[in-house]
Amino acid sequence: MSTPEALWRWAAPAAPPARLAALRISAGGFALVYLIVRTGYLTSYAELPSQTFHPVGVASWLEQPLPPAAVYVLHALALATGGLYLLGARFRLSGPVFAALLLWVLTYRNSWSMIFHTENLLVLHVIVIGLSRAADAWAFDAKRDAPPSARYGWAIRTLSALTVLSYVLAGVAKLRNTGWEWALGDALRVQVAYDTVRKIELGSFHSPLGAYLVRHAWVFPPLALATMALELGAPLALLRERWGRIWAFGAWGFHWGVLALMAITFPYALSGFQFFSFFRVETWSPLQATARAVKWLARRAPRLGATTLLTFALLAVTSHTRADEKARAGPSMETMTDADAHDAAPPPSRAASPSPSRRAVAIAGAIVPGLVVHGTGHYVLGRTGTGSRLLALEGIGAGMFLAGGVPIVLTGANRFVVGPAAALVIAGFGVWSMTWLADVYGVSWPEHARGRAPRHLPRLQTELGYLYVDHPQFSFHHLFEQALDFRHGRLRLRPSAVFASDDANVRFRVLGSWRWLGTGAARATTGDGSFTDVDVALTHHRYDSDGFSIATAEAMLNGRLDLGRLAVDLTGSFGEFGLGLGLQAFDYDVPALGFATDIEQLLLARFGFGAYLGAPDEQGGEVSIYYDHRHDGYAAGLRLGGLGSGVAGHFGLSANWYFDAAWGVALRAEVGSAYLTGFSLLFRQGTAR
Amino acid sequence: MTQGERFFAGSLVIGLFALSLLPLTFESGEDSFPFSSYPMFSRPRRQAETVQALALDEKRRAHVLPPSVVGSEEAMQAAATLRRAAAGGGRRAKTLCRHIARRVAADGNLTGAIAVEIARISYDPVRYLTAGPTPGRRRRVVRCKVPR
């Protein structure tokens, strides 16, 4: 065999058409979603002045920016052909056309400020796939699956080779600009520090981990060495299929590391799609299910076309209202002349509020596709920084969920693994759900109606309440609750008791708490309600009519973060997390079984999302929804079918509202295997010193 | 696979690889899209420099103004606006400074500010994170009065 023939056989191995089709769906689907959620951002350049236009790549021939209408039309065309590309419909035309439009739209965007290196491989992959026979399977036009062939393999190999080449080039750039000393770690440490400090000083979101690790220089040499090995050793990934997979996992982890260290998002890489060409993705059931969905959608192409048109109409409304808002807000900073500056009325200190129609589109976007792509609502409003942070946090939450969930599945919930792994799963789900709720809150809750954190906490609060419980196991329904909440400086003491009026059931509990971080009780806060508390509690719950009682000792770390710290668009909302451990000792009313015959461990985990209402010091309060993993409360754990039964805790909603400086009410509802609802009267006095 | 298909695929692959390698010929600092030399993180930056909008009080103490006063809730966009204004020369920086000063005058939380200054501030980033956020070297670009 001649050398060119051997090279060709390596470059174009036989591959099934379904594999290339799966890559079309993953890369095309990602590109389409990327264009949709970044519509506001990608078209915002239509209105900017020409001084800031520095065309690159295929836009280099432009001497002036395009007219705004052309920017909108090209973006809309990219969305339309992207849908056809994803479905594999008329692919000989839609493939190259979408690739060309995506190249144009992203090149044009990169011609305005800095070049984003997060989009290069996405464009190159879409081009290669668009120019190949990627719609011979799992597509609108596909008649039947063809046998494996080099006509599919060359494109797959090219995707892998382009991916590898981009990492090699990044490695070569380090050698050219710094030399081999880059691998010693100092350059990486300085780069992380530079990026972190710049973000801190600009008030942008930065990585706390990066800021922490810069203090420990020894961390960076191994990280730098691993980075260089990953980049310059990337060609090995093309030699063996197995090596390719190992490298792909390494590169994927590398991007997660970049996110953790520098809060820089490479969405295509983080999603994993960038590395799919190294795997036999056609055998993966989620992609097979997606392919079935694509076929189903393809059969309904005409109706889909109508939906696409509707999407364009919505986008047109969005763009139109955006232009209106700009006009209402006055000339932009970029276009303002000296004369404008003198004539303009004093502008508001915050950016102009979005119009109702634009807000409605943003709310719809925050729900679909926002449930999957968190931050969509803010992207639609053009608040891309907030959208990107929410999206990055969603990725972190999903990563934590998988990092905890996979070991549980692989070890069959091994008892040594399940505790920390379950905590990671719950925390990951908490971050994931919090970012979605924050996106919905940020775009739907009007800025003028947002509340603020209390500036003082009461020295003493008395609570008297009623609870109704509908439990499948126990006969009691009506409960009365009394509690005292005493604060002194950072210390909090909360004794409480719950009595059933229709059964012999009573629960006593004493909670002691120390405010570890955050201002709060010790002095007036500066409008930030964030805190971290160390809680310890003892509980004695007597089920006299059922013949047993439970004593519980527990310790827990509980925290709240005001999300205004994350992004100004989320001001007025907060996220809560808690993690701890408890020990339960059971005492049965049976002569042979004494106290602590059974001792059980209890994983305590909790997360929630909430919003402040009004001014809680005078008139106002807060509302939150939460998940609590504990099963020993009145709501107990969720009753689910299958393997999940008995695992999950309960969900709840709580709210409080103070009518004045003294009196207020609290409401609570929880859903587990039991249903609980109730209210309390609150009376507060004094200010904690 | 037909000869025509082989020719097309081969030409495309060679073309893409040639274009991907083209950035190796770029001058330092030059970049393009989607074919890039991937220069990010390749060069250590010993000094971090930001362009900031500062409010000066009666004792000439400087307070960093939030991005919203500069003109955008997005910190990076506000930073880009300041950076471009500083790079664009005196007239452009002065226009922006006056515009910020009007916003400061309209903001009830900034009543103590008597002047606005756009300044370049340099930091040693590692020292900043290891020894604490020490004040960096400040170089004034432009200063303007807050209209009261």
For residues A575 and A590, the answer to whether their CB atoms sit within 8 Å is no
Note the pLDDT of residue A667: 95
Residue type, A291: A
Residues of A in contact with B20 (CB under 8 A): 124, 162, 165-166, 169
The Cα-based distances of A42 to A46, A111, A112 in angstroms read 8, 11, 10
The tokens for B25 are: 């010929």
Whole-angstrom Cα distance, residue A627 to residue A650? 6
pLDDT digits (tens, 9 = 90+) for A150-204: 999 999 999 999 999 999 999 999 998 889 999 999 999 999 998 888 888 776 6
Residue type, A454: P
Is residue B14 within 8 angstroms of chain A, CB to CB?
Answer: no
Nearest to A480 by CA among A682, A684, A683, A679: A679
Residue type, A189: R
Contact B102 A341 (CB under 8 A): yes
Nearest to A391 by CA among A376, A404, A406, A401: A376
Contact B76 A194 (CB under 8 A): no
Residues of B in contact with A162 (CB under 8 A): 16-17, 20
Contact A197 B35 (CB under 8 A): no
Least confident of A428-437, A514-523, B133-142: A514-523
Residues of A in contact with B44 (CB under 8 A): 178, 186-187, 190-191, 194
The Cα-based distances of A419 to A318, A322, A397, A414 in angstroms read 47, 49, 18, 9
Query: What distance in Å separates residue A537's CA from the closest CA in chain B?
Result: 38
Instruction: For tokens 């009623």, name the residue.
Output: A466
pLDDT band at A345, cuts 50/70/90? very low
Buried b / exposed e across A539-578, counting CB within 10 Å, b at 16+? bbbbbeebeebbbbebebebbbbbbbebbbbbbbbbbbbb
Over residues A128-142, mean pLDDT: 89
CB-based contacts of B30-33 (< 8 A; 24+ apart in sequence): B31/A56, B31/A115, B32/A56, B32/A57, B32/A115, B33/A56, B33/A57, B33/A106, B33/A107, B33/A110, B33/A115, B33/A119, B33/A120, B33/A123
The tokens for A160 are: 């892998």
Residues of B in contact with A564 (CB under 8 A): none
Over residues B36-51, mean pLDDT: 82
Note the pLDDT of residue A329: 41
DSSP-derived secondary structure letter, A627: E
Task: Indicate the residue of A11, A196, A203 with minimum beta-carbon distance to B67.
Answer: A203
Torsions phi, psi of A306, nearest 5? Answer: -65, -40
pLDDT digits (tens, 9 = 90+) for A98-120: 999 999 999 998 887 678 888 99
Nearest to A588 by CA among A548, A637, A642: A548
The tokens for A103 are: 């190249």
Task: Indicate the residue of B37, B45, B76 with minimum beta-carbon distance to A202.
Answer: B76
Nearest to A582 by CA among A607, A558, A553: A553
Query: What distance in Å separates residue A557's CA from the closest CA in chain B?
Result: 27
Q: Is pLDDT at A552 greater than 90 in this prediction?
A: yes
Nearest to A545 by CA among A505, A596, A580, A492: A505
Instruction: For tokens 């000339």, name the residue.
Output: A331
Cβ contacts from A onto B, under 8 A:
211
Note the pLDDT of residue A594: 67
Contacts of B82 by beta carbon, 8 Å cutoff, 6+ apart: B51, B52, B53, B70, B96, B118
pLDDT digits (tens, 9 = 90+) for A569-580: 899 999 999 999
Query: What distance in Å separates residue B141's CA from the closest CA in chain A?
Result: 17
Contact A385 B76 (CB under 8 A): yes
Contact A198 B105 (CB under 8 A): no
Nearest to A14 by CA among A157, A160, A161: A157
Q: Is pLDDT at A328 greater than 50 in this prediction?
A: no
The tokens for B94 are: 């002065």
Residues of A in contact with B31 (CB under 8 A): 56, 115
Beta bridge partners of B51: B120
Contact A155 B9 (CB under 8 A): yes
Number of H helices, E strands in chain B: 5, 4
Whole-angstrom Cα distance, residue A432 to residue A438? 10
Nearest to A628 by CA among A665, A573, A579: A579
pLDDT band at A321, cuts 50/70/90? very low
Over residues B60-81, mean pLDDT: 78
Task: Indicate the residue of A103, A151, A351 with minimum beta-carbon distance to B34.
Answer: A103
Query: What distance in Å separates residue A268's CA from the closest CA in chain B?
Result: 14
Is residue B131 within 8 angstroms of chain A, CB to CB?
Answer: no
Note the pLDDT of residue A41: 73
Q: Is pLDDT at A134 greater than 90 in this prediction?
A: yes
Q: Cis check for the bond before A369: say yes or no (omega within 30 of 0).
A: yes
pLDDT digits (tens, 9 = 90+) for A27-80: 999 999 888 877 777 777 776 666 668 899 999 999 888 888 888 889 989 998
Nearest to A85 by CA among A12, A7, A150, A141: A141
Torsions phi, psi of A628, nearest 5? Answer: -125, 125
CA angle B134, B136, B138 (to 5 degrees): 150
Sheet containing B115-123: give its strands across: B62-64, B48-56, B115-123, B137-145
DSSP-derived secondary structure letter, B71: T
Residues of A in contact with B13 (CB under 8 A): 11, 154, 158, 161
Nearest to A237 by CA among A177, A186, A279: A279
Q: Cis check for the bond before B34: say yes or no (omega within 30 of 0).
A: yes
| Residue of A20, A105, A112, A169 for testing the chain B interface, max B β-carbons within 10 Å | A169
Q: Is pLDDT at A340 greater than 50 in this prediction?
A: no
Is residue B17 within 8 angstroms of chain A, CB to CB?
Answer: yes
Contact B40 A117 (CB under 8 A): yes
Mean pLDDT of chain A: 84
Beta bridge partners of A619: A615
DSSP labels, A8-23: HHHHS--B-HHHHHHH
List the 99-128 stretch of B: residues with Cβ below 8 A of A: 99, 102-103, 105-107, 109, 121, 123, 125-126, 128
Over residues A334-341, mean pLDDT: 33
A227 or A303: which leads in pLDDT: A227
Note the pLDDT of residue A596: 64
- What percentage of chain B carries pLDDT values higher than 90? 36
pLDDT digits (tens, 9 = 90+) for A362-401: 888 888 788 888 888 888 887 888 888 888 888 888 888 8
The tokens for A132 are: 């190949």
| Residue of B2, B31, B36 for testing the chain A interface, max A β-carbons within 10 Å | B36
For residues A622 and A612, the answer to whether their CB atoms sit within 8 Å is yes
pLDDT band at A1, cuts 50/70/90? low
Beta bridge partners of A552: A539, A584
A30 or A591: which leads in pLDDT: A30
For residues A654 and A626, the answer to whether their CB atoms sit within 8 Å is yes
The tokens for A52 are: 């800031």
| SS3 at position A371 | coil
Nearest to A227 by CA among A253, A206, A208: A253
Whole-angstrom Cα distance, residue A632 to residue A509? 13
- Strand bridging mode B62-64 / B115-123: unpaired
Q: Is pLDDT at A311 greater than 60 in this prediction?
A: no
CB-based contacts of B128-133 (< 8 A; 24+ apart in sequence): B128/A193, B128/A197, B128/B48, B129/A193, B129/A196, B129/A197, B129/A211, B129/A214, B129/A215, B130/A214, B130/A215, B133/A200
A194, burial (CB in 10 Å: exposed 0-12, middle 13-18, buried 19+): buried
Contact B44 A336 (CB under 8 A): no
Contact B33 A155 (CB under 8 A): no
| Residue of B7, B35, B50, B76 for testing the chain A interface, max A β-carbons within 10 Å | B76
Residues of B in contact with A129 (CB under 8 A): none
| Percent of chain B as helix, strand, coil, to the nearest 5 | 45, 20, 35
- What percentage of chain A carries pLDDT values higher than 70? 86
Contacts of A26 by beta carbon, 8 Å cutoff, 6+ apart: A273, A276, A281, A287
Over residues A646-654, mean pLDDT: 89
Note the pLDDT of residue A24: 94
The separation between the first and the last C-alpha atoms of chain A, rounded to the nearest angstrom, is 87
A481 or A687: which leads in pLDDT: A481
Contact A350 B72 (CB under 8 A): no
Q: Is pLDDT at A339 greater than 50 in this prediction?
A: no
List the 18-47 stretch of B: residues with Cβ below 8 A of A: 20-21, 23-24, 28, 31-46
Residues of B in contact with A117 (CB under 8 A): 36, 38, 40
Whole-angstrom Cα distance, residue A487 to residue A491? 6
Least confident of A336-340, A395-399, A569-573, B119-123: A336-340
B132 or A275: which leads in pLDDT: A275
The Cα-based distances of A684 to A104, A457, A480, A660 in angstroms read 62, 9, 19, 10
pLDDT band at A344, cuts 50/70/90? very low
Note the pLDDT of residue A351: 45
Task: Indicate the residue of B6, B16, B126 with minimum beta-carbon distance to A162.
Answer: B16
For the CA atoms of B118, B122, B128, B132, the dihedral, rounded to the nearest 10 degrees, stands at -50
E strand intervals along B5-147: 48-56, 62-64, 115-123, 137-145
pLDDT digits (tens, 9 = 90+) for A660-679: 888 999 999 999 989 999 99
Whole-angstrom Cα distance, residue B134 to residue A357? 46
Contact A332 B75 (CB under 8 A): no
Note the pLDDT of residue A589: 78
Nearest to A538 by CA among A552, A557, A555: A552
Task: Indicate the residue of B16, B35, B73 with minimum beta-carbon distance to A568.
Answer: B73
Q: Is pLDDT at A300 greater than 90 in this prediction?
A: no
Whole-angstrom Cα distance, residue B148 to residue B146? 6
The Cα-based distances of A609 to A131, A247, A454, A650, A656 in angstroms read 46, 38, 17, 15, 14
Contact B73 A191 (CB under 8 A): no
Residue type, A216: H
- Give the chain B residue whose CA is nearest to the CA of A7: B10
Residues of A in contact with B17 (CB under 8 A): 161-162, 165
pLDDT digits (tens, 9 = 90+) for A510-543: 999 998 887 655 444 556 788 899 999 999 999 9
Instruction: For tokens 């799609």, name the residue.
Output: A273
Is residue B132 within 8 angstroms of chain A, CB to CB?
Answer: no
Q: How many CB atoms lie within 10 A of CB A211?
A: 19
Whole-angstrom Cα distance, residue A70 to residue A222? 49
The tokens for A455 are: 């500036």
Note the pLDDT of residue A436: 94
